[in-house]
């Protein structure tokens, strides 16, 4: 009803039609009128007017008033049309269905009539000066929920009801309503009195017979009725304090009401409440005044609760809004004050000033097309609203553009001698890499400037590829930046995101330039052989533009959308396996292979670099520990046999951690020993009761632990090469006492190495001192470096025509084919040497490569397999301390192999004296360092018969063990 009141049109009743309220104001009326402090003389009242006829016998006044209104005005716009018959004379009326709420006596209600016949009948009745109809509430459908508001579609269906169907849907009790006015399809009704339908007279339009209902008699002086009515009024007073809408209704009603009676009070409360239509219909149907008042009291009480909730919601929202407004106003005032004082400018001006100030020092060096873009974006920033999303995008874009080091280069140092010294300080060996860097510096010195190149360092893990990049940057006096592309599957990480995306950022290289602040840094791209490939493109292809010297002078980042000159950047890439790098990318690189370190190099690295770094990290002084050469050699040979030195560093750290714990325990034991001596000196010489325990000096370089261990946890380590002694010297000099504590250094030797690093991980790769018949040592290359590999062949069974070869050892396809080729070549050579020997034709053989759990593949085992087969066939062992490598063809030619350095290192590790290499690898061997080639007897062959003669020496073949 509240919604209906708020949305309905305002209809004014002619003043002569309405009875002035002050002529017959009862005490009850005066109480109600005092609820909102209403003025009786206020004529400008907005809202709805209420009809004032008495439901019992006051209709004649209404008629008289209507006649006077007709005399004074010729217009038909008056609210009440004069009628000669009295309302109670109408026993047959047109039935008007009400959809949303019932009409109470004394109230206006606009009704929309969609039925043309019914509208015409109402117009005709009004013109016949019989302007009365019956307003009846429409029942809900049986399955409908009355608390749920019906949709417009449902309303349309209601308007379609006609005749008998409409009659069955109407509530029996309704209201006799005067037709005040008709505007189009809107009919203004004024409720008079209650009616009850008795029967249907006609269907279209629906006309029904009615009985006029009167309230049951009641005692006006009944205390219960009075108390109930006063409670209704009291509740209305409380509601009026919170709801201005209710206040308008009460003011309008009391302005034009007649004698205010208890029934009218009940109707008034129910009519203006927000109760649903069924509850209002229940009040309308109730003829017992006391029960009607009780029902109304329930409705206004519920309205009171709703008003309280409304007030609390309004208060909470008002507090929130007022707090935010106050904060906003204060901030705006603060900005205005600061701006007046010159302490601060507005956001856009400050941002523009910051960007201009940042780019100003670089303006002379900055390319013109970059300056043009920056100026355009700054102008655009001034036109944008600070709250728009485009503003933040432009601000971030300008932030990146102005932060990049346009035209700024670090001064390079082209001193070759200094560079040589720095490279030697950081790394031992690696002659190839150092020479390449020195060449680069020399070219830069002659030209006066340097161009960026792409150097790819390939080699097994732990050989120092990443740290070499850092050393090169230090030698060249360039800034260093490293990022890894291992597993990278998104092209945007390299080329940047478009600015239209949320969270867009430039690529890695642009981030690098911003971080280092120069345009000629050294960029280390790690793990380039482990590039991924996902749904977001192929990063390997995206790297082509970055690394290609012909293209990177105009590198285009998607985010910046301007070209950047990367031609002065020195790119250093690292990879474990060069074959995994895509060929177009590999073609743009200069590959420098790092094969790994031999034992001698590892010894130098451990002594000069690893041991020193670890000792400092553990807080141990050089004089406190001694690790013998024998211990380091055993550590390298038995624990850290791989090509790199990362695992060696871990083992050295493990040794020094245990030494640190041992030294700390010894220091605590010395403190415990010194405690009683110190106490005695303090008490005797100084005469103090309190004992002061002040240790003048802790063990040098040891960090004291916060938690001390008990004497039960202190263990003394006693061995032949490891001891400790305690020297205490007391010197009296005044009131001071000097104590000197000395811990003898810890000695790590081969005998006690297992106490620090556990049992050996590797055993000697060399299984045989003299290889037996059918066994030959080969040389293999792995990603971890080189290793020796035995190939064993044994006889299974003999039978006519059973010449077969069975292979095991998890061999790849290439090695399986090598074995078949070796079998054929061995049969041919045996046939030439011993024509009468049918060994291969009648023997079932088994060839095995040990360590069956390790996959093996590669084209360098053919000569070794052939030699193994021939050794078994001729029952001759090969020469002692011999290892060979090389692929053999069906005609007996030996093909070149790779990994010469790794295989040579593996041979030295196994104490092999004689090595057989293909002739094509002579140049690779000559390039090796002298300490790698020292003591080796190397033979270069291009035909297998040369290997045969070397392997099956007559003198050695007699020494069969």
Q: Counting Cβ atoms within 10 Å, is residue 734 exposed (0-12), middle (13-18) or buried (19+)?
A: exposed
pLDDT tens figures, 442-474? 988 888 777 777 889 988 888 888 888 899 899
- What pLDDT is attached to residue 783? 62
What's the Cα-to-Cα distance from 625 to each of 414, 473, 610, 611, 666, rounded to whole Å?
40, 34, 14, 11, 14
The response to whether 514 counts as a known ligand-binding position is no
The response to whether 459 counts as a known ligand-binding position is yes
Residue 281 near residue 77 (C-beta atoms within 8 A): no
- What pLDDT is attached to residue 244? 66
- What pLDDT is attached to residue 155? 57
Q: Tokens representing 513?
A: 């330039």
- What pLDDT is attached to residue 780? 87
Which ranges of 812-861 does DSSP label H, i.e. alpha helix? 813-833, 839-842
Q: Is residue 545 pLDDT above 60, yes or no?
A: yes
Interacting residues of 913 by C-beta distance below 8 A, sequence separation 6+: 881, 882, 935, 936, 937
* pLDDT band at residue 713 under the 50/70/90 scheme: very low
Closest to 265 in 3D by CA, of 239, 244, 283, 238: 283
pLDDT tens figures, 324-347? 888 888 888 887 887 777 665 567
741 is catalytic: no
pLDDT tens figures, 426-447? 888 888 888 888 988 898 888 8
pLDDT tens figures, 50-107? 444 444 433 333 333 333 333 333 333 334 444 556 777 778 888 888 888 888 888 7
The whole-chain average pLDDT of the chain stands at 77
CA dihedral sign of residues 232, 233, 238, 239: positive
Task: Give the Cα separation of 778 and 60 in Å (integer).
Answer: 131
Task: Give the Cα separation of 42 and 263 in Å (integer).
Answer: 26
Catalytic member of 125, 860, 863, 868: 860
Residue 190 near residue 135 (C-beta atoms within 8 A): no
pLDDT tens figures, 112-144? 888 888 888 888 888 877 788 889 988 877 665
**DSSP, res 218:** -
- What pLDDT is attached to residue 733? 39
- What pLDDT is attached to residue 917? 93
Mean of the pLDDT values across residues 367-373? 90
Mean of the pLDDT values across residues 491-515? 89
- What pLDDT is attached to residue 63? 33
Which ranges of 199-288 does DSSP label H, i.e. alpha helix? 223-242, 244-256, 262-272, 277-285
Ranges 33-37, 44-48, 272-276: which has the least confidence: 44-48
The response to whether 465 counts as a known ligand-binding position is yes
pLDDT tens figures, 4-14? 333 333 333 33
Task: Give the Cα separation of 672 and 679 in Å (integer).
Answer: 12
Mean of the pLDDT values across residues 595-612? 85
Record: fold of 775-957: Ribosomal Protein S5; domain 2 (3.30.230)
Mean of the pLDDT values across residues 512-523? 91
The response to whether 464 counts as a known ligand-binding position is yes
**Separation of CA 208 from chain center:** 73
The response to whether 58 counts as a known ligand-binding position is no
Query: What is this structure's pTM?
Result: 0.55
Closest to 719 in 3D by CA, of 699, 748, 679, 680: 748
pLDDT tens figures, 172-214? 899 998 888 888 888 888 888 889 888 888 887 888 888 888 8
Interacting residues of 234 by C-beta distance below 8 A, sequence separation 6+: none
* pLDDT band at residue 358 under the 50/70/90 scheme: confident
Task: Give the Cα separation of 235 and 32 in Å (integer).
Answer: 11
3-state secondary structure of 53: coil
Q: Is residue 557 pLDDT above 80, yes or no?
A: yes
3-state secondary structure of 46: coil
Q: Counting Cβ atoms within 10 Å, is residue 608 exposed (0-12), middle (13-18) or buried (19+)?
A: middle
Q: Which residue has the tokens 């996902």?
A: 534
Q: Is residue 725 pLDDT above 60, yes or no?
A: no
C-alpha angle 55/57/62, rounded to 5°?
A: 80
Catalytic member of 568, 602, 901, 903: 903
What's the Cα-to-Cα distance from 773 to each of 776, 805, 873, rounded to whole Å?
8, 17, 9
Q: Counting Cβ atoms within 10 Å, is residue 619 exposed (0-12), middle (13-18) or buried (19+)?
A: middle
Task: Give the Cα separation of 731 and 326 in Å (integer).
Answer: 77
202 is catalytic: no
For 894, phi then psi, to 5°, come to -105, 125
* pLDDT band at residue 248 under the 50/70/90 scheme: low
- Identical fold at 416-593 and 775-957? no
**Separation of CA 716 from chain center:** 53
- What pLDDT is attached to residue 899? 83
Residue 82 near residue 102 (C-beta atoms within 8 A): no
CB burial readout 335-353, b (16+ within 10 A) else e:
eeeeeeeeeeeeebeebbe
For 551, phi then psi, to 5°, come to -115, -30
Task: Give the Cα separation of 887 and 871 in Å (integer).
Answer: 18
Q: Is the peptide bond before 437 cis (omega within 30 degrees of 0)?
A: no
Longest dimension (CA), the chain: 154
The response to whether 27 counts as a known ligand-binding position is no
Task: Give the Cα separation of 330 and 346 in Å (integer).
Answer: 15
Task: Give the Cα separation of 11 and 13 in Å (integer).
Answer: 7
**Separation of CA 651 from chain center:** 38
| H or E stretch covering 779 | strand 775-782
Domain residue extents for the chain: 223-307, 347-403, 416-593, 600-757, 775-957
Q: Counting Cβ atoms within 10 Å, is residue 926 exposed (0-12), middle (13-18) or buried (19+)?
A: exposed
Mean of the pLDDT values across residues 509-514? 92
**DSSP, res 80:** S
- What pLDDT is attached to residue 726? 35
- What pLDDT is attached to residue 314? 84
Ranges 90-99, 507-516, 814-823: which has the least confidence: 90-99
pLDDT tens figures, 387-427? 788 888 988 999 999 999 998 888 888 889 999 999 888 88
Task: Give percent of the chain above pLDDT 90.
Answer: 12
Q: Which residue has the tokens 């095995």?
A: 848
Closest to 490 in 3D by CA, of 536, 530, 526: 536
- What pLDDT is attached to residue 536? 66
* pLDDT band at residue 847 under the 50/70/90 scheme: very high
Q: Which CATH superfamily is domain 416-593 in?
A: P-loop containing nucleotide triphosphate hydrolases (3.40.50.300)
Beta strands in 152-185 (DSSP E): 173-183
The response to whether 205 counts as a known ligand-binding position is no
- What pLDDT is attached to residue 186? 87
The response to whether 852 counts as a known ligand-binding position is no
* pLDDT band at residue 868 under the 50/70/90 scheme: very high
For 648, phi then psi, to 5°, come to -60, -40
- What pLDDT is attached to residue 269? 79
Look up the CATH number of domain 600-757: 1.10.8.60
Query: Hey, how many other C-beta atoms are within 10 angstroms of the C-beta on 906?
Result: 29
- What pLDDT is attached to residue 941? 94
Q: Is residue 246 pLDDT above 90, yes or no?
A: no
Q: Tokens representing 620?
A: 């141990």
Q: Tokens representing 712?
A: 């039960």
Q: Is residue 31 pLDDT above 70, yes or no?
A: no
- What pLDDT is attached to residue 922? 92
- What pLDDT is attached to residue 247? 67
pLDDT tens figures, 893-930? 999 988 888 888 888 878 888 999 999 999 989 888 78
More confident residue, 494 or 159: 494
Task: Give the Cα separation of 206 and 92 in Å (integer).
Answer: 11
- What pLDDT is attached to residue 652? 93
Query: Hey, how many other C-beta atoms are within 10 angstroms of the C-beta on 241?
Result: 13
Q: What is the DSSP string of 643-660?
A: SSSHHHHHHHHHHHHHHH
Q: Is residue 30 pLDDT above 80, yes or no?
A: no
């Amino acid at each position: 009803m509240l919604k209906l009141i708020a949305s309905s049109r305002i209809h004014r009743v002619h003043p002569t039609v309405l009875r002035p309220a002050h002529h017959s104001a009862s005490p009850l009326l005066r109480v109600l009128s005092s609820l909102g402090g209403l003025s009786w003389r206020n004529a400008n009242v907005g809202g709805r007017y209420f009809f004032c006829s008495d439901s019992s016998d006051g209709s004649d006044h209404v008629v008289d008033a209507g006649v006077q209104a007709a005399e004074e005005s010729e217009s038909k716009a008056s609210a009440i049309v004069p009628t000669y018959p009295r309302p109670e004379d109408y026993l047959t009326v047109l039935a008007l269905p009400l959809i949303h709420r019932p009409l109470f006596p004394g109230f206006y209600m606009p009704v929309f009539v969609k039925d043309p016949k019914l509208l015409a009948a109402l117009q005709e009745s009004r013109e016949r000066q019989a302007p009365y109809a019956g307003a009846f509430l429409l029942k809900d459908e049986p399955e409908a929920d009355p608390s749920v508001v019906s949709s417009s579609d449902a309303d349309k269906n209601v308007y379609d009801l006609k005749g008998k169907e409409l009659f069955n849907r109407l509530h029996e009790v309704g209201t006799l309503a005067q037709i005040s006015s008709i505007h189009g399809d809107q009919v203004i009704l004024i409720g008079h009195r209650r009616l009850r339908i008795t029967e249907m007279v006609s269907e279209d339009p629906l006309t029904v017979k009615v009985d006029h209902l009167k309230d049951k008699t009641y005692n006006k002086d009944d205390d219960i009725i009075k108390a109930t009515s006063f409670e209704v009024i009291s509740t209305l007073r409380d509601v009026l304090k919170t709801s201005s809408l209710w206040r308008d209704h009460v003011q309008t009603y009391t302005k034009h009401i007649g004698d205010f009676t208890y029934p009218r009070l009940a109707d008034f409360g129910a009519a203006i409440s927000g109760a649903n239509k069924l509850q209002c219909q229940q009040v309308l149907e109730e003829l017992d005044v006391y029960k009607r008042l009780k029902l109304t009291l329930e409705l206004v009480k519920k309205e009171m609760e709703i008003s309280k909730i409304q007030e609390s919601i309004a208060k909470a929202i008002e507090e929130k809004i007022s707090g935010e407004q106050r904060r906003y106003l204060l901030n705006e005032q603060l900005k205005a004050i600061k701006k007046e004082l010159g302490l601060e400018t507005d956001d856009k001006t400050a941002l523009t000033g910051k960007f201009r100030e940042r780019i100003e020092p670089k303006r002379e060096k900055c390319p013109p097309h970059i300056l043009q873009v920056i100026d355009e974006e700054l102008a655009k920033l001034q036109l944008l609203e600070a709250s728009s999303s485009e503003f933040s995008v432009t601000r971030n874009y300008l932030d990146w553009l102005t932060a990049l080091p346009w035209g700024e280069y670090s001064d390079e140092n082209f001193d070759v001698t200094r560079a040589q010294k720095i490279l030697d300080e950081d790394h031992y060996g690696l002659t190839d890499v150092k020479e390449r860097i020195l060449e680069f510096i020399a070219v830069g010195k002659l030209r006066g400037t340097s161009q960026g190149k792409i150097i790819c360092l390939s080699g097994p893990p732990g050989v120092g590829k990443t740290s070499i990049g850092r050393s090169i940057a230090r030698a060249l006096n360039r800034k260093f930046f490293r990022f890894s592309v291992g597993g990278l599957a998104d092209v945007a990480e390299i080329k940047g995101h478009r600015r239209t995306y949320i969270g867009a950022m430039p690529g890695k290289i642009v981030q690098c330039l911003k971080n280092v602040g120069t345009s000629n840094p050294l960029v280390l791209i790690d793990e380039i052989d482990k590039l991924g490939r996902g749904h977001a493109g192929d990063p390997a292809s995206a790297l082509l533009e970055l690394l290609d010297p012909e293209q990177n002078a105009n590198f285009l980042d998607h985010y910046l959308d301007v070209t950047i000159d990367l031609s002065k950047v020195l790119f250093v890439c690292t990879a474990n396996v060069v074959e995994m790098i895509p060929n177009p990318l590999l073609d743009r690189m200069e590959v420098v292979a790092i094969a790994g370190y031999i034992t001698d190099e590892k010894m130098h690295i451990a002594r000069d670099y690893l041991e020193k770094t670890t000792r400092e990290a553990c807080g141990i002084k050089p004089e406190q520990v001694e690790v013998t050469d024998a211990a380091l050699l055993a550590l390298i040979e038995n624990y850290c046999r791989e090509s790199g030195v990362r695992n060696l560093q871990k083992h050295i750290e493990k040794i020094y951690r245990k030494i640190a714990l041992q030294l700390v325990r010894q220091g605590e034991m010395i403190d415990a020993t010194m405690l009683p001596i110190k106490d005695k000196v303090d008490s005797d010489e100084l005469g103090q009761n309190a004992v002061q325990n002040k240790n003048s000096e802790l063990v040098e370089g040891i960090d004291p632990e916060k938690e001390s261990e008990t004497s039960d946890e202190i263990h003394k380590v006693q061995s032949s090469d490891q001891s400790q002694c305690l020297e205490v010297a007391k010197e009296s000099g005044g009131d001071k006492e000097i104590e000197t504590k000395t811990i003898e250094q810890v000695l790590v030797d081969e005998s006690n190495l297992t106490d620090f690093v556990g049992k050996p991980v590797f055993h000697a790769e060399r299984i045989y001192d003299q290889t037996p018949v059918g066994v030959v040592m080969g040389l293999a290359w792995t990603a971890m470096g080189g290793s020796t590999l035995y190939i064993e062949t044994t006889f299974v069974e003999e039978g006519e025509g059973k010449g077969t070869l069975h292979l095991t050892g998890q061999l790849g396809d290439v090695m399986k084919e090598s074995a078949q080729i070796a079998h054929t070549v061995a049969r041919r050579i045996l046939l030439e040497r011993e024509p009468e020997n049918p060994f291969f034709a009648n023997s079932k053989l088994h060839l095995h490569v040990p360590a069956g759990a390790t996959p093996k593949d590669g084209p360098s085992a053919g000569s070794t397999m052939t030699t193994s087969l021939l050794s078994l066939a001729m029952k001759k062992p090969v020469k002692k301390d011999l290892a060979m490598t090389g692929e053999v063809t069906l005609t007996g030619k030996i093909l070149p192999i790779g990994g010469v350095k790794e295989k040579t290192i593996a041979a030295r590790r196994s104490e092999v004296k004689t090595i057989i290499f293909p002739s094509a690898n002579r140049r690779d061997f000559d390039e090796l360092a002298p300490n790698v080639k020292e003591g080796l007897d190397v033979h270069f062959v291009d035909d297998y018969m040369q290997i045969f003669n070397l392997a099956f020496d007559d003198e050695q073949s007699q020494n069969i063990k």
